[in-house]
Chains A and B, each alone.
Chain A
């Protein structure tokens, strides 16, 4: 079946398979609209004040039942964790008295030193801990974020406590004249995540925040984010690309430890050769790239769209790309007509002549100012996209990774991207070696097989080559490690 027909059939199948739940969705949106409660700080404080007398009344009632009370007072109702870089966990009973205070990391030990918090009311303990954080210089204008997590399987009770604590901490920071940024969340028991938190020596609260970011960006790993402070995580969470629905945030995370947006902007504009006056649109967010905090800048100037990652500590450009907007529009506008033509032509080549892989590769090398002998891990792919033949050329020179899109008929550079990594690309075994390893494993020679195909998947978490071929009535599929040549997977089926 031809590509276009397959695409059309798949689109039709999904159109048929997707249930029509509009009424259900509209009713849910109606409910949402009707029950939204504005979450302002004022409301939080009102909540606390209402909650305190209620809790006191509950305590009095319980006092009548001494036996029951003894049990309840020693039962952990919630676990409250405070994370900055030091992490501290407080187990509390249902009367909000501290049953145990534990440091979750080495910095936490310093914070709790000399404090006996057992039996103290939670608000007193939190006051003491935040005071200690301030005294030891962990919360200041350079890093002002605190994460408060209430772990409680009774979500309503947990959320009430979360709001109360957020208000409490905010008041302490305000009285200390620190412009704080507070993140707060309520979580239920999660054994898998707890095990991961224990493995990295962080609290469940911090693990929950990290997991939520990792879930939304496959380029991030739990391991590297576990080493970041809460202020750095707060800066990342403020990037609109991340959904943090379960996290309440007040205040703004400080970027005082970094070069600042203005300097980052200047670095990017200078690198791009763009005058600030010519910039028509811009967005700046924080992100984490290749082991460092970066300012992620997107801007347009003179019809060109730029994307920059600027090292937040030293202003070095670590990654950038640029794309001419007009080209994108020109190719998008006639898409409808071209699709029809393409449907008729199916996989035939475009009308212009194909410059070929080598010329495309040479065009990319020339643009980057490198020679073929300098480039490593070169991958060239041919594609017929949007009515245009394109070559994608990817290669490394030292620690710099280059990505190019080259017009397949003119050799023009359509898009370029380059990224400076902390380390150079690991030397790969190459396509031919991967092919040899797979064939040897299958006990076959190149002459004995047909439809032999080797695809480099060097950007996968485990860089590897996919090797596929057929021999007789059998079909073989291999995954070969790109650096070690080890066979990661082998599959053999009847063709």
Chain B
């Protein structure tokens, strides 16, 4: 299991290399749908994770993820290659998530108590995944969750996360370390039970 996870993490890092994503963005700008498919498979977990951290609901996060990639397709010709394609995509996801929150009038964080209320329907989700996601969504503030998810799924540096979320670096660092502690404590509690 551990070997598999290490392999997955390494693959995730390679998948999100800026050079590769820049190439795919160029393909999108030229109207290449295969590039869109490839970009989607590489970045969908990051986009979905970020949307989920804002919206705390799987269905809403799914909608925003779809809208994000449609928007990326539409805006790709205007994208200026600066070596940060993932930040550009995630900024779109962040903006769409905030708009969705406003539409729904959910200005306060929801506090999901049960797995069912999260509406995450994918059959691929294991029991371990459920425990971890529920802990992340229940125990962490929205910002802590965004920071942890972005670091875990994209391998983004804290400095880049600070820039994406418009937060000072020290805040990102302190929230990140505190979030890890909270997650660990929550998971340990589950195991002890």
Contacts and interface: CB of A to CB of B under 8 A. Distances in A.
Contact of B69 (A4, A12, A25): A25
Interface in A1-23: 1, 3-22
B92 A19 contact: no
A interface, how many residues as a size bin? 35 or more
B30 interface: no
A336 B17 CA distance: 10
Nearest to B151: A7
A456 B98 CA distance: 26
Contacts of A383: 158, 173
Contact of B92 (A1, A24, A243): A243
Q: Could you tell me the dominant secondary structure of chain B's interface residues? A: helix
Interface in B171-190: 171, 173-174, 178, 180, 183-184, 187
A29 interface: yes
Interface string B109-146: 00000000000111011101110110010000000000
A405 B148 contact: no
B168 A14 contact: no
Given A17-B133, A21-B62, A29-B36, A8 B9 contact: yes
A407 to B, nearest CB: 14
A457 B174 contact: yes
A469 to B, nearest CB: 13
A15 to B, nearest CB: 5
Contacts of B159: 385, 405, 415
Given A25-B36, A383-B173, A457-B171, A13 B187 contact: no
Interface in A425-442: none
B45 to A, nearest CB: 5
Interface residues of B, number: 75
A383 B180 CA distance: 14
A106 interface: no
Contacts of B6: 8, 340, 343
Interface stretch (A169-177, A216-224, A226-234): A216-224
16 contacts: A1-B184, A3-B180, A7-B152, A13-B125, A14-B46, A14-B49, A16-B122, A19-B62, A19-B121, A21-B62, A22-B41, A25-B40, A211-B102, A215-B95, A339-B155, A379-B170
Given A1-B187, A13-B125, A241-B91, 19 more contacts: A1-B184, A3-B180, A8-B5, A10-B148, A10-B152, A12-B5, A17-B120, A18-B44, A19-B65, A24-B66, A25-B73, A26-B33, A217-B166, A219-B166, A336-B10, A381-B173, A381-B174, A456-B174, A468-B178
